[in-house]
Amino acid sequence: MKKVKKVPKIFRKKYKEKAFNKKILKRIHIPKEREKVEALFEKNEKDRYVLKGDISQETIKKLKPLAKTIKKNKGLVTKWKAIIVLIIVGSVVFFNFIFKDKLIESFAESGLESLFEAEVEIEKLHLSLFKGILSYESLAIADADKPMFNLVETGRAVLKINMRELAFKRVHIEEIALSEVLWDTPRKSDGSLVEGENGGENTSEKEDSSLMDTLSLNSGDFDYQAIINSQKENLSSLKLLSESNQKIEEAQARWTGILYEKESEVKALSDKVDTVKSISLSSVQSVDEAASLIGEVQSYYPEVEAAKESVVQLNRDFKSEKETLFSMKDSLSYSIDTDMAYLVDTLDITTGDFSSIASDLAEDYVRARWNNYYEYGLKAWNIVQKLQSAENEDKAESRGLNRAAGRTILFPSPDKPSLFIGHAGLTGGDEKQGHLVMDIKSISSEPDKTKDPVSLNLILTKGEQIIVLKGVLDLKTDSPVLFFMTIDVPGNPVALEKGIPVLGINRLTSIADTSLNGTVLYDDDTLVTVLKTELTELDIIQSADDSVISTAVNILFDNTENIELIGEIAITKEGIDSIFFQSDFDTLLQDSLGSYLEDLKSTYTRELKDNLLQYLSPDLEKNEAYSSSLDALGVQSINQISSVNRVKDVLDDKVSELENRGDAIADELKSKAQSEAESLVDKAKDKIKLPGF
């Protein structure tokens, strides 16, 4: 059976005209539908609007959703939205009690991890919104550079936030109490964020290569040969000498062979030419015969000329190579001087200038300590910069990147900074690092709105050592001094465990009273620090020798009650800009030991040079021998030229003799012919009678 649909209740009611318009017609916003509904109603006898009786099931079906929309169009606020808000409020309250702390802890951890780029662990973080207290039981921040160590870890911390100021968009932390602060502590697990990434620890330090640490200053014990042996790889003279010897030896062997061959050639030529000597001039009877013999002798010339040219060229080549080899030998003396300078440097013998031993030690100490602080300072600086860039990104993100920043106009308000930390108390450290108690007051983001400047008090105790630091950071615009601090370290036992090797001191202990003043002026980024240290109760342990230095140092320390050190250090963002120390101890040392050590240095240098030459002497001797051999070969080459010249002279002489013989024969024939002619003329004269005579 088909189900009969009922007319919705809203249409079954009887309405006065005003109510009908208000509750029905005005809530139908589609004109066509309104007309349809209006047509379905009629006025009864009581002047009320009622639904007509003959309404079809089809129409009733269409009226149902219409009734729903009419109900829906009632009121200005939607119920389901109110329910959603109630659910949200309920969730927030629930979250506040159950999840709030865990969520904040998780957010804080991830925020700090992105800041420090290393693992961060916070335990039992709790935020009380009503009391304005944020606390946690422990915090550990790993060191990104040394993942197996914590950069810093703290125990319980409590931050008391002024909630009233927070309502004015000002973060005022009235009190921070931080306990059990430790730094550079070992971790149980790797603290790097990326698996396998380990910054590692470079614990191996470059050892001081100064030989003086292992040598006594007593010249009698000084093992020069050991020094030369230990440094032989670095000595250029030794290498040069060895190379030179090898080359000369090779050249000598080669040239001996060449010159021997040439010698044989010259000898053969000489023998050949010697046959010319056997030509007897008396056997030459005619000019033709002489001319023929001259031709024979001259036929040797080309061979002799070629031989001469060859030996001369050979001699030239030999000379050239010899010069090259001997130039190496010449640079040897320069090389020995260079090696000497190197060896003296390696010895690290003081120049005898004792005006800066104590001040140099102080400078080295300060620089070494500074490097540690500078490393921490750089890390802190990087974190601050990251924090600033993150703040700027957040601001840009919150207003939407494509929106203009506009102009923020400030109105008179109580002179309170947007960020203020009233008091931060910090305790921590351990036996190894020292116990730390620190108080910082009045940290402000807008110093001009803060009454007091930032003040810092720190007391660090480590065994018997006490360091007291007091500092004031005044960032107000009219403040002439930006930063001022004093550090007092009274009665501090100090020990120079490595001693002062150059003075034969193995260990030095004393009590130091140090005071330091540091100042940074406004508009100047340089921290100028003046340091004054007085060392008393001086005690030294000397090396077991009876050298003059040891004796002198012993006497000096016996007569010295205290040492005063005064220094000035200028530090900028880039590091130590300048450092200067002076000490009365340096003057005393200079007076008593300076001249002695100056002489000692000269002795060392001289002895070292002798020893070096002695060390090189076998090679030097070999070098001399090879050089002599080469000289001998040179003489041999010159002799060969002479031999060839002598052969040529023989030929020249013979040619000359033959020419003379030819000339003599010619002259003889000529005179004979002339006399015969004259006799014939005379005879003819007699026979011929001239007319008229």
Partner 1 sequence: MDIVKLYIMIGLFAKLIVALNSNSRPGEMASAIAFGFLLALIPGGNLLWVLLFILAFFLKHNMGSFLLSLALFRLITPLFDSLLSSFGGLILDASFLRGFFTYLYNLPLFSYTNFNNTVVLGAFVAGVVLWTPVFILFVKLVRIYRKTLAPKIAESKIIKALKKVPILSKLTKAVSKLSVAI
Name the residues that contact partner 1, by CB under 8 A: 27-33, 36, 62-63, 65-66, 68-70, 72-73, 75-78, 81-82, 85, 164, 167-169, 397-400, 402-414
Q: How far apart are CA 215 and CA 502, in angstroms?
A: 9
C-alpha torsion angle, residues 459, 457, 388, 168 (rounded to 10): 130
State the nearest-atom distance from the C-beta of 70 to partner 1, in Å.
8
Specify the residue, 167 or 688, whose C-beta has the smaller distance to partner 1.
167
Specify the residue, 54 or 394, whose C-beta has the smaller distance to partner 1.
394
- Judge contact between 614 and 237, C-beta under 8 A: no
DSSP code at position 522 = T
State the nearest-atom distance from the C-beta of 529 to partner 1, in Å.
42
State the nearest-atom distance from the C-beta of 112 to partner 1, in Å.
23
475: its two tokens: 């960032």
Specify the residue, 22 or 29, whose C-beta has the smaller distance to partner 1.
29
DSSP bridge pairs for 153? 140, 182
Cα atoms in the Cβ-side hemisphere of radius 13 Å centred on 93: 6
In order, the DSSP letters of 443-466 are EESSGGG-SSPEEEEEEEEETTEE
Specify the residue, 51 or 66, whose C-beta has the smaller distance to partner 1.
66
State the nearest-atom distance from the C-beta of 393 to partner 1, in Å.
13
State the nearest-atom distance from the C-beta of 407 to partner 1, in Å.
4
Q: How far apart are CA 662 and CA 656, in angstroms?
A: 10
Q: Choose among 174, 325, 147: nearest CA to 252.
A: 325
- Judge contact between 654 and 276, C-beta under 8 A: yes
Which residues, in sequence order, are CB contacts of 510 under 8 Å at separation 6+? 493, 494, 535, 536, 537, 538, 539, 563
Specify the residue, 3 or 32, whose C-beta has the smaller distance to partner 1.
32
DSSP bridge pairs for 507? 541
C-alpha angle 97-102-108 in degrees, rounded to nearest 5: 130
State the nearest-atom distance from the C-beta of 97 to partner 1, in Å.
23
State the nearest-atom distance from the C-beta of 398 to partner 1, in Å.
3
Specify the residue, 25 or 552, whose C-beta has the smaller distance to partner 1.
25
Q: How far apart are CA 637 and CA 631, in angstroms?
A: 10
Specify the residue, 85 or 387, whose C-beta has the smaller distance to partner 1.
85
Specify the residue, 82 or 570, whose C-beta has the smaller distance to partner 1.
82
C-alpha distance across the termini of the chain, in Å: 209
State the nearest-atom distance from the C-beta of 451 to partner 1, in Å.
20
Place of tokens 């870890």: 153
Specify the residue, 84 or 384, whose C-beta has the smaller distance to partner 1.
84
Q: Choose among 248, 237, 236, 240: nearest CA to 324.
A: 248
DSSP code at position 498 = T
State the nearest-atom distance from the C-beta of 71 to partner 1, in Å.
11
Place of tokens 């003046």: 530
Q: How far apart are CA 557 and CA 110, in angstroms?
A: 59
Specify the residue, 65 or 90, whose C-beta has the smaller distance to partner 1.
65
Which residues, in sequence order, are CB contacts of 645 under 8 Å at separation 6+? 308
Specify the residue, 171 or 258, whose C-beta has the smaller distance to partner 1.
171
Specify the residue, 202 or 408, whose C-beta has the smaller distance to partner 1.
408
Specify the residue, 1 or 409, whose C-beta has the smaller distance to partner 1.
409
State the nearest-atom distance from the C-beta of 22 to partner 1, in Å.
14
In order, the DSSP letters of 221-268 are G--HHHHHHHTGGG-HHHHHHHHHHHHHHHHHHHHHHHHHHHHHHHHH
Specify the residue, 97 or 411, whose C-beta has the smaller distance to partner 1.
411
State the nearest-atom distance from the C-beta of 452 to partner 1, in Å.
24
- Other C-beta atoms closer than 10 Å to the C-beta of 644 total 25
C-alpha torsion angle, residues 111, 430, 483, 450 (rounded to 10): 60
State the nearest-atom distance from the C-beta of 40 to partner 1, in Å.
12
Q: How far apart are CA 453 and CA 473, in angstroms?
A: 6
State the nearest-atom distance from the C-beta of 34 to partner 1, in Å.
9
State the nearest-atom distance from the C-beta of 111 to partner 1, in Å.
18
State the nearest-atom distance from the C-beta of 30 to partner 1, in Å.
6
- Please compute Rg for the chain using Cα positions: 57
Residue 455 phi, psi (nearest 5): -120, 145
- Judge contact between 273 and 300, C-beta under 8 A: yes
Specify the residue, 82 or 680, whose C-beta has the smaller distance to partner 1.
82
State the nearest-atom distance from the C-beta of 86 to partner 1, in Å.
12
Q: Tell me, rounded to whole angstroms, the distance of Cα 202 from its chain centroid.
A: 15
State the nearest-atom distance from the C-beta of 38 to partner 1, in Å.
14
- Judge contact between 448 and 420, C-beta under 8 A: no
Specify the residue, 24 or 336, whose C-beta has the smaller distance to partner 1.
24
Which residues, in sequence order, are CB contacts of 282 under 8 Å at separation 6+? none
Specify the residue, 222 or 420, whose C-beta has the smaller distance to partner 1.
420
Which residues, in sequence order, are CB contacts of 328 under 8 Å at separation 6+? 240, 243, 244, 247
Q: How far apart are CA 218 and CA 602, in angstroms?
A: 14
Per-position b or e across 12-31, b if 16+ CB within 10 A of its CB = eeebeeeebeeebbebbeee
